[in-house]
Structures are given as structure tokens and as C-alpha cells.
């Protein structure tokens, strides 16, 4: 739709040791206000510190 847009947010869930466990991407429609999670990744390797600097 012309003139509409979205806002994107990226979040990460950290384990007790500070490593990234999940990465989530959410979007919000500026026109209608609809929000949703559009991608969710479980991270099952380490080290993960580089993921925090990539965003």
C-alpha cells in the first residue's frame, strides 16, 4: 500500500552466562498498528557475542 510503512525491531534472549539463546524479529504496521513476530531463531552454538554486534 503506498504511503504505509513498517517499524522493525530485533530482540535477543540471553542465557544466564550472557550468551544469546534466541533472536526474534518483530514488525509493526505504521498505518494500522498491527504487530507480529515474523521470525524467531533458537541459537544452539557458542560463542554468540558476535550476534549482538551484528544488529
The residue-averaged pLDDT of 1-21 equals 85
Name the residue range of residue 29's domain. Answer: 6-48
The Cβ of residue 23 has, within 10 Å, a number of other Cβ atoms equal to 19
- Calculate what percentage of the chain has a pLDDT beyond 90: 56
The residue-averaged pLDDT of 16-23 equals 94
Q: Is the pLDDT of residue 44 over 90?
A: yes
Q: Tell whether 55 is covered by a domain.
A: no
Rounded Cα distance between 6 and 17, Å, is 34
Query: Cβ-count burial of 24 within 10 angstroms (0-12 exposed, 13-18 middle, 19+ buried)?
Result: middle
Q: Tell whether 54 is covered by a domain.
A: no
Q: What mean pLDDT value characterizes the chain?
A: 88
DSSP calls for the chain:
-TT--EEEEEEEEE-TTS-EEEEEEEEEETTT--EEEEEEEE--SS--HHHHHH-
The confidence band for 30, taking pLDDT boundaries of 50, 70 and 90, is: confident
Per the structure, the count of domains in the chain is 1
| The model's pTM | 0.72
Amino acid at each position: 500500500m503506498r504511503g504505509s510503512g513498517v517499524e522493525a525491531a530485533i530482540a535477543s534472549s540471553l542465557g544466564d552466562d550472557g550468551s544469546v539463546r534466541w533472536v526474534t524479529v518483530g514488525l509493526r504496521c505504521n498505518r494500522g498498528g498491527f504487530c507480529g513476530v515474523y521470525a524467531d531463531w533458537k541459537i544452539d552454538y557458542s560463542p554468540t557475542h558476535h550476534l549482538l554486534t551484528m544488529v
